[in-house]
Amino acid sequence: MEKIKLFIVDDHPMVLEGMKAMLQQIAYIDLIGTATNAFDAMSKLKSISIDVAIVDINLPEITGIELTAKIKKEFPKIQVLAMSTFKERSYISQMIQNGASGYLVKSASREEIEEAILCAHEGKLYLSMDINTLDINKHIQSPVPVISTREKEILQLISNGLTNTQIANQLFISLHTVDTHRKNLLAKFQVNNTASLIKLAAQHQLI
Q: What is the pLDDT along the chain (207 residues), one digit of tens a residue?
A: 689 999 999 998 898 999 999 998 889 999 999 999 999 999 999 999 999 999 998 887 788 888 999 999 999 999 999 988 766 667 777 888 888 988 888 888 888 899 999 989 988 888 776 554 544 454 445 556 777 778 889 999 999 889 999 999 999 999 999 998 898 888 888 888 888 888 888 887 788
Pairwise CA distance, residues 97 & 81, whole Å: 12
Same domain flag for 62 and 98? yes
Domain ranges, residue 13: 4-140
Same domain, 113 and 159: no
pLDDT tens-place string over residues 13-46: 898 999 999 998 889 999 999 999 999 999 999 9
116 and 192 fall within a common domain: no
Q: How many domains does the chain have?
A: 2
Instruction: From 118, 76, 126, select the one nearest 99 (Cα to Cα).
Output: 76
DSSP class of 192:
S
Q: Are residues 90 and 135 in the same domain?
A: yes
Alpha helices in 37-191, H assignment, sequence order: 38-45, 64-74, 89-97, 110-121, 133-140, 149-159, 164-171, 175-189
pTM comes to 0.63
153: left (phi over 0), alpha (psi -120 to 50) or beta: alpha
Closest CA to 80 of 60, 104, 106: 104
CATH number of 118's domain: 3.40.50.2300
